[in-house]
């Protein structure tokens, strides 16, 4: 099973699942445990408290659901909305597309605001729709904070501003899968009603925990939402929260201890430092892409993502070949272009527990692959650009000063 193992470490730069730090791997290296003993609820309590800090919420209620991001989406929607409800949803790439597909299959009435892949959400269109909706028929706005397929970060503060400007009561549901714990994210300040992420993204855990946080308004909505749901029903969780046993069904003991370790690492580094580090990694990547003479799939700087960069390749190159070569020759895992941009972009994920030298190893690999596939890159150019920036900006490691 291990024997596609190449010599040395795998350089994992897909935008999730991401590298798990050693202390987290260690924390999860354990036998099962009775989750009804006094120990597990006691730990769960600390996790629920601490996860709120990651979302920057004090009023939200978190749910740690044994599922993936797709399940977290379903949890957000079915707990707050009823079939037939009108929602506005932004389509800007593959993951927003998949969420919209889910919204439609869950029988909501989805008003899709589409942008070109590489652009952010069209907020003017949102403003105009809200302006026209004086009857408040729109029940929710669904937006992906960071579109993982194109490396586009949407401006959530602006979305809130528009809603407020129109005094519109629609719920604001946010996919923070590739943003929370890596990008600036402020659930309370931005009036987000449901925010969600997955354990295998910036939290740097294995897949298997969908993390959903609901505002008081979202919880209120869940009391009347008519979408059929059982596994994803927040009420089952709330019932067990009240009892102090927390779990309506069996959680993964390993992921709980893993989350504990992951949060400890994040608080040790400082959440703001974590976010700043992601900005450094994103900036360095973009500087390298520029130095290679390639285009960022993201069309404007205001949408640049600090967690994933989608790089556009010239038309005579198949970006899938870049990914294939990465794996076969350099033990480097890059992200494929998806759907509309399949073959046209490859993606560098730079999120989670990752440092600058790891990224530079990846960028060196990309340079060599570009040469492999016939792109006239000047070897060292991307590294030079990235290093020039990083050498000025990397801070001392706080625990080692």
Where in 233-252 is the site for a second copy (CB under 8 A)? Answer: 233, 248-252
| Beta strands 308-312; 345-349: pairing state | antiparallel
CA distances from 191 to 56, 134, 218 (A): 11, 20, 11
Q: Which residue number, 160 or 231, has a Cβ lying nearer to a second copy? A: 231
Q: 């990309």: which residue's tokens? A: 366
First to last CA, the chain: 41
Q: Which residue number, 132 or 380, has a Cβ lying nearer to a second copy? A: 380
Least distance in Å: CB of 264 to a second copy? 8
In 3D, which of 346, 336, 369 has the Cα closest to residue 295? 346
- Asked if 305 and 151 count as a contact pair (C-beta separation under 8 A), the reply is yes
What mask, x for binding a second copy by CB under 8 A, covers residues 271 to 300?
A: ---x--x-----------------------
Least distance in Å: CB of 175 to a second copy? 13
Residues 167-186 that bind a second copy (CB under 8 A): none
CA distance 282 to 304: 8
Residues 115-144 that bind a second copy (CB under 8 A): none
DSSP H/E element including 346: strand 345-349
Residue choice 59, 83, 132, 164 for contact with a second copy (CB under 8 A): 83
Least distance in Å: CB of 128 to a second copy? 30
Q: Where does 82-155 have alpha helices with state H?
A: 94-105, 123-132
Q: Which two tokens stand for residue 153?
A: 């970060």
What mask, x for binding a second copy by CB under 8 A, covers residues 196 to 215?
A: --x-x-----xxx-------
CA distance 93 to 96: 6
Q: Which residue number, 200 or 307, has a Cβ lying nearer to a second copy? A: 200
Least distance in Å: CB of 103 to a second copy? 9
Question: Nearest-5° angle of CA 345, CA 346, CA 347?
Answer: 120
Q: Which residue number, 7 or 315, has a Cβ lying nearer to a second copy? A: 7
In 3D, which of 105, 119, 117 has the Cα closest to residue 73? 105
The secondary structure of residue 118, as a DSSP letter, is T
* Cα Rg, the chain, nearest whole Å: 21
Residue choice 11, 129, 286, 344 for contact with a second copy (CB under 8 A): 11
- Asked if 331 and 368 count as a contact pair (C-beta separation under 8 A), the reply is no
Q: Is residue 25 within the footprint of a second copy (CB under 8 A)?
A: yes
Question: Nearest-5° angle of CA 291, CA 349, CA 254?
Answer: 155
Q: Which residue number, 41 or 314, has a Cβ lying nearer to a second copy? A: 41
What mask, x for binding a second copy by CB under 8 A, covers residues 53 to 82?
A: -------------xxxxxx-xx--------
Single out the segment in contact with a second copy by CB under 8 A; choices: 111-119, 126-134, 160-168, 350-358. Answer: 350-358
- Asked if 209 and 65 count as a contact pair (C-beta separation under 8 A), the reply is yes
Q: Is residue 93 within the footprint of a second copy (CB under 8 A)?
A: no
Q: Is residue 17 within the footprint of a second copy (CB under 8 A)?
A: yes
347 is in an annotated binding site: yes
What mask, x for binding a second copy by CB under 8 A, covers residues 34 to 53?
A: xxxxxx---x----------
Residues 368-397 that bind a second copy (CB under 8 A): 368, 371-372, 378-381, 383-388, 390-391, 394-397
Provide the annotated binding site for substrate: 347
């Amino acid at each position: 099973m291990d024997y596609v193992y190449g010599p040395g470490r795998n350089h994992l730069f897909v935008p999730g699942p991401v590298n798990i730090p050693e202390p987290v791997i260690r924390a999860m290296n354990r036998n099962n445990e009775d989750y009804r003993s006094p120990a597990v609820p006691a730990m769960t309590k600390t996790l629920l408290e601490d996860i709120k800090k990651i979302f920057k919420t004090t009023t939200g209620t978190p749910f740690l659901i044994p599922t993936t991001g797709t399940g977290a989406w379903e949890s957000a929607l079915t707990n707050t909305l009823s079939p037939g409800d009108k929602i506005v949803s932004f389509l800007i790439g593959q993951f927003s597309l998949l969420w919209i597909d889910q919204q439609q299959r869950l029988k909501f009435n989805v008003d899709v605001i589409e942008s070109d892949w590489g652009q952010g959400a069209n907020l003017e269109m949102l403003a105009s729709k809200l302006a026209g909706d004086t009857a408040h028929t729109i029940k929710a706005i669904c937006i992906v904070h960071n579109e993982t397929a194109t490396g586009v970060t949407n401006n959530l503060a602006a979305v809130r501003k528009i809603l407020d400007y129109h005094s519109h009561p629609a719920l604001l549901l946010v996919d923070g899968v590739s943003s929370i714990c890596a990008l600036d994210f402020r659930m309370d300040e931005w009036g987000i009603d449901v925010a969600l992420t997955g354990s295998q993204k910036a939290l740097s855990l294995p897949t298997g925990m969908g993390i959903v946080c609901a505002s008081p308004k979202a919880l209120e909505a869940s009391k009347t939402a008519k979408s059929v749901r059982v596994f994803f029903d927040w009420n089952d969780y709330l019932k067990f929260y009240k009892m102090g046993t927390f779990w309506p069904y069996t959680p993964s003991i390993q992921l709980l201890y893993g989350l504990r370790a992951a949060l400890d690492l994040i608080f040790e580094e400082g959440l703001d430092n974590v976010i700043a580090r992601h900005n450094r990694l994103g900036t360095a990547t973009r500087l390298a892409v520029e130095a290679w003479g390639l285009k960022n799939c993201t069309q404007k700087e205001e949408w640049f993502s600090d967690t994933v960069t989608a790089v556009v390749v010239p038309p005579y190159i198949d970006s899938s070949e870049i990914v294939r070569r990465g794996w076969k020759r350099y033990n480097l895992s890059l992200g494929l272009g998806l759907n509309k941009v399949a073959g046209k972009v490859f993606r560098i994920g730079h999120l989670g527990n990752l440092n600058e030298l790891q990224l530079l190893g990846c960028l060196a690999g990309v340079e060599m692959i570009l040469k492999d596939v016939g792109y006239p890159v000047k070897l060292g150019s991307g590294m030079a650009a990235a290093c020039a920036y990083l050498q000025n900006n990397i801070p001392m490691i706080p625990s080692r000063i």
